[in-house]
């Protein structure tokens, strides 16, 4: 057993959806989460700046003596060099595992521009399903709108504007390639009405938990959750408390 915390890092609040999956399925595991709300959104930054900010988040979590680090952000996962993952503990990026797409004709990848520009999801889908139509839809302002607590109407307008640029109305599977997007799933469903939605949080966490299982490093007693943000916590706090309870430990930190 190992009761050290699991670290989760994100460009903002999106990685809370990954933490939520751990809480619901592995309640004994302690979590230390850090969201870089000061520099959000990452989706329009250069890979060099993404890697720079991500390294600061990683070093903060490593200093907390965590047993595993999950990169709860697709933009960071696909814009950092391989050396970023070379640590003495498992460092787990967001999963690129895809579900069965047999008999499907059209799929859509929903992500930040920085993630779309890597085309990682497209390449993997094409390799397994070369005849499928793939729409890549970058949503440059959606993650930040979620960060700022935008209304459903405002979120709907952002999604409608970007989705309408693509003929994706017949999409059968939509990949939520940004951890913020499950937070506005009801709005996304309005504009991709035929689609099933694939959230990689489960595959990401399960891969990490298998790594801990091999080391016999599952927790046995803690379950404590700590949340850190790099700017005023007043915006993130309602979401954290909604997902993790009103007694959640939330702090602002200066890196």
Task: Enter the tokens of residue 16.
Answer: 């809370």
What's the predicted TM-score (pTM) here? 0.94
Residue 19 backbone dihedrals phi, psi, to 5 degrees: -60, -35
pLDDT tens digits along 161-211: 999 999 899 999 999 999 999 999 999 999 999 999 999 999 999 999 999
At 23, list the tokens.
């809480």
The confidence score (pLDDT) of residue 52 equals 97
- Compute the C-alpha angle 12/196/96, nearest 5°: 55
What is the per-residue pLDDT across 25-44, written as a single tens digit (0 to 9) for each? 999 999 999 999 999 999 98
**Are the beta carbons of 115 and 178 closer than 8 angstroms?**
yes
Domain annotation for the chain: domains and CATH numbers: 6-95+201-252 (3.40.50.1860), 106-199 (3.40.50.1860)
Catalytic residue among 9, 16, 92, 178: 178
Residues across the chain: 255
Residue 138's beta-bridge partner residues? 111
Q: Would residue 100 show up in a list of annotated catalytic residues for this protein?
A: no
| Catalytic member of 13, 73, 91, 109 | 73
Mean of pLDDT values over 90-100: 97
The predicted pLDDT at position 246 comes to 85
Mean pLDDT, rounded, for 153-166: 95
Nearest in space to 36 (alpha carbons), one of 81, 77, 76, 84: 76
């Amino acid at each position: 057993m190992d009761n050290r915390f699991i670290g989760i890092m994100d460009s903002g609040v999106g990685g809370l959806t990954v933490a939520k999956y751990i809480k619901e399925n592995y309640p004994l595991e302690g979590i230390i989460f850090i969201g870089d709300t000061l520099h959000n959104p990452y989706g329009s930054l250069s890979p060099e700046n993404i890697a720079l900010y991500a390294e600061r988040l990683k070093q903060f979590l490593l200093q907390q003596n965590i047993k595993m680090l999950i990169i709860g952000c697709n933009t960071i996962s696909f814009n950092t060099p391989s050396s970023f993952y070379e640590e003495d503990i498992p460092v787990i990026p967001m999963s690129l595992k895809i579900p069965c797409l047999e008999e499907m004709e059209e799929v859509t990848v929903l992500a930040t521009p920085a993630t779309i520009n890597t085309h990682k999801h497209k390449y993997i889908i094409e390799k397994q399903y070369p005849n499928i139509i793939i729409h890549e839809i970058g949503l440059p302002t959606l993650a930040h709108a979620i960060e700022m607590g935008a209304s459903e109407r405002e979120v709907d307008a952002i999604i409608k504007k970007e989705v309408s640029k693509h003929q994706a109305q017949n999409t059968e599977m939509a990949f939520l390639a940004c951890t913020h997007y499950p937070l506005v799933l009801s709005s996304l469903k309005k504009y991709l009405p035929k689609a099933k939605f694939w959230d990689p949080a489960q595959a990401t966490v399960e891969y990490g938990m298998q790594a801990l299982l091999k080391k016999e490093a599952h927790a046995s007693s803690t379950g404590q959750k700590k949340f850190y943000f790099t700017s005023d916590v007043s915006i993130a706090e309602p979401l954290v408390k909604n997902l993790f309870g009103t007694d959640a430990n939330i702090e602002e930190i200066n890196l």
